[in-house]
Homo-oligomer: A and B are copies of this chain.
Amino acid sequence: MPNIEQLNKLIGQFGKLPGVGAKTAQKMAYFMLAQPDSAVKEFADTLLKSRDLIRCCPHCQNLTDRPLCPICADPKRQKSAICVVEKPEDVEAMERTRTFTGTYHVLHGLISPVNGIGADQLRIRELLHRVAEEEIEEVILATSPNVEGQATALYLNKLIKPFGVRVTGLALGIPVGGTLEYADSLTLTRAMENRRTFE
């Protein structure tokens, strides 16, 4: 560690970023100090302004800089279907497919007792409110197929079923372009169970 207190603080801040270790944080701090004052100010301003302008859409909880996010505000989107995802990045991934025309609901996390994240820390209340108040026909639970994602989906299924809404999940199987040889047994089992008839 360098012998300058303020520099160590700066390295500490960069070290908090995801995927940044001690060495990279140090590199970033030195990089920042080699920049002109205006560039550092722009970085700091962008940070503060982003945090200030970008908030959660009050309807679907996705990030947006408008009062209502573009998807919720779009009259062409099918309001009767909600695709429930873990985080804003998942909405983006889904939107890239250009096939889903319904709306989203972002949980901002998954139930994870190991990490101390309970159901009350997620945006589940807002989801149930939508299911109760709006004319919803289908809720697609699109959380990732890992332990936390599955647990969250099972929990949500139990809560939503009583409203008489169809609850579905994404298909599990071999990814397109994948090879049987390197697929894990669990994926292969699911792919076999959910095999489809050629048309």
Contact = CB atoms under 8 A, between A and B. Distances in A.
Contact of A44 (B16, B48, B92): B48
A182 to B, nearest CB: 23
A5 B50 CA distance: 10
Interface residues of A, number: 51
A34 B61 CA distance: 12
A88 interface: yes
Interface string A20-45: 00001011111111110101111111
Contact of A28 (B4, B17, B41, B53): B17
Given A7-B54, A51-B37, A24 B32 contact: no
B9 A19 contact: no
B42 A6 contact: no
A196 interface: no
Given A30-B89, A40-B47, A41-B48, A64 B4 contact: yes
Most buried by B among A9, A48, A51: A51
Given A4-B54, A19-B24, A30-B88, 6 more contacts: A6-B49, A9-B46, A13-B42, A27-B89, A30-B87, A30-B89
A65 interface: yes
A67 interface: no
**5 closest Cβ pairs, A-B complex:** A44-B44, A40-B51, A10-B50, A44-B47, A6-B53
A128 B88 CA distance: 56
A18 interface: yes
A130 interface: no
B27 A54 contact: no
28 contacts: A6-B49, A6-B53, A6-B65, A7-B63, A10-B50, A13-B43, A14-B17, A16-B39, A16-B43, A17-B28, A18-B27, A26-B89, A30-B87, A30-B88, A30-B89, A32-B50, A32-B51, A33-B50, A33-B88, A35-B51, A40-B47, A40-B48, A40-B50, A40-B51, A43-B47, A44-B44, A44-B45, A47-B47
